[in-house]
Structures are given as structure tokens and as C-alpha cells.
């Protein structure tokens, strides 16, 4: 009887080991597929690939806007308070200097863009992506008027809180 119990215990142990190996193999394959697959389904990546951004021949610099943006947005049931920390990605020393020189204009333009947002837009990831794209277009238009070039390649939300 003891021999039968040991034989059954060994069989269970082998089954558990085989199941663990298969599980780990599946997890490894899934991770490989996730990281190595084409990201064309990501709307942000698709937008970045089709944008008319300058060629990445110059190094990227990040201009940190000194103050986070705090603003109210209207909602269906109540208004919400939103805080957004923003950084600007620019290419080259000249664009970095131009962006730093025109920070008050950039902040004003971003505040106008953010003020037009709604709670429903900011609740969804795609709505935030749309808002970021609108902010980029607004900043590029404003910089085109004063500097003669777009200067800013991307607007990045480095902090986003909605209460």
C-alpha cells in the first residue's frame, strides 16, 4: 500500500512539474510576442509615425514648464479640477533656446487649449491623446507666428490628476 501511495505522489509531482513548465513557456512566449509585435495598433505610435516631425538628426531636449497647469473642466454632473504637468520635446539647441524664450506664450496657449476640454474627454485615454495632439498643434501654430518655425516636436504629459 505504501508503494501505491509513493507511485501516486510521484505521478502528481510529475504532472505539477509539466504544468509549471508549460505555464512558464506560455508566459515567456506571450511576453516575447507582446514586446516584439508591431505597435501599429497603438494610436499614439501611429500618430507619431505619420506626423510631419523634423528628422531626428539633432538630439532631443526636454523643456520643463515651471508650473503645472491647474484648471477646471465642466462635466455632466459636476465640474472637476485638473492638474497637468507638461514637458516639451524639442530638437537641437536653437529650438531649446527658442522654447525657453517663449515659455509665457506656450503656457498661455496650453492653458487656452486645456480650458476647452471636458470631463468626458479627459476620462478616456484616447481623449487625453486627442488633447495632447490639440495642445501640440496650438503650440506649433503659436511658435510659427513668433519664431518662424514649429520648434516643439511633442507635448508630453508627465503628470495628470483629475479630481
| pLDDT number for residue 7 | 63
- For residue 63, what are the β-bridge partners? 88
Within this chain, do residues 138 and 68 fall inside the same structural domain, yes or no?
yes
Within this chain, do residues 123 and 49 fall inside the same structural domain, yes or no?
yes
CATH code for position 137 = 3.30.479.30
| pLDDT number for residue 71 | 87
Within this chain, do residues 60 and 103 fall inside the same structural domain, yes or no?
yes
The count of structural domains within the chain is 2
Q: Which residue matches cell numbers 484648471?
A: 71
Within this chain, do residues 110 and 60 fall inside the same structural domain, yes or no?
yes
Q: How far apart are CA 115 and CA 159, in angstroms?
A: 17
For residue range 58-80, list pLDDT tens digits in order: 899 999 998 999 988 887 788 88
Within this chain, do residues 109 and 157 fall inside the same structural domain, yes or no?
yes
- For residue 153, what are the β-bridge partners? none
Within this chain, do residues 55 and 21 fall inside the same structural domain, yes or no?
no
Within this chain, do residues 132 and 61 fall inside the same structural domain, yes or no?
yes
Within this chain, do residues 122 and 51 fall inside the same structural domain, yes or no?
yes
Within this chain, do residues 6 and 26 fall inside the same structural domain, yes or no?
yes
> What are the CA-CA distances from residue 14 to residues 2, 26, 48, 72, 162 (Å)?
18, 18, 50, 61, 52
Within this chain, do residues 53 and 99 fall inside the same structural domain, yes or no?
yes
| pLDDT number for residue 49 | 47
Range of the domain at 125: 43-162
Please give the chain's pLDDT, 163 residues, in tens.
455 555 678 888 888 888 888 877 777 776 666 666 554 445 554 454 444 444 558 899 999 998 999 988 887 788 888 899 999 999 999 999 999 999 999 999 999 998 888 888 888 889 899 999 999 999 999 999 998 888 999 999 989 888 8
Amino acid at each position: 500500500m505504501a508503494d501505491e501511495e509513493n507511485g501516486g505522489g510521484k505521478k502528481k509531482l510529475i504532472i505539477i512539474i509539466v504544468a509549471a513548465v508549460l505555464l512558464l513557456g506560455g508566459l515567456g512566449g506571450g511576453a516575447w510576442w507582446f514586446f516584439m509585435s508591431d505597435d501599429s495598433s497603438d494610436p499614439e505610435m501611429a500618430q507619431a509615425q505619420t506626423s510631419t516631425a523634423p528628422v531626428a538628426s539633432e538630439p532631443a531636449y526636454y523643456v520643463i514648464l515651471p508650473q503645472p497647469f491647474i484648471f477646471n473642466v465642466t462635466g455632466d454632473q459636476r465640474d472637476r479640477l485638473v492638474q497637468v504637468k507638461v514637458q516639451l520635446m524639442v530638437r537641437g539647441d536653437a529650438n531649446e533656446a527658442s522654447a525657453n524664450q517663449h515659455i509665457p506664450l506656450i503656457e498661455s496657449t496650453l492653458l487656452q487649449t486645456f480650458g476647452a476640454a471636458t470631463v468626458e474627454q479627459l476620462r478616456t485615454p484616447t481623449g487625453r491623446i486627442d488633447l495632447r495632439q490639440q495642445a501640440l498643434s496650438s503650440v506649433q501654430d503659436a511658435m510659427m507666428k513668433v519664431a518662424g518655425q514649429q520648434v516643439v516636436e511633442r507635448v508630453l504629459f508627465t503628470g495628470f490628476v483629475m479630481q
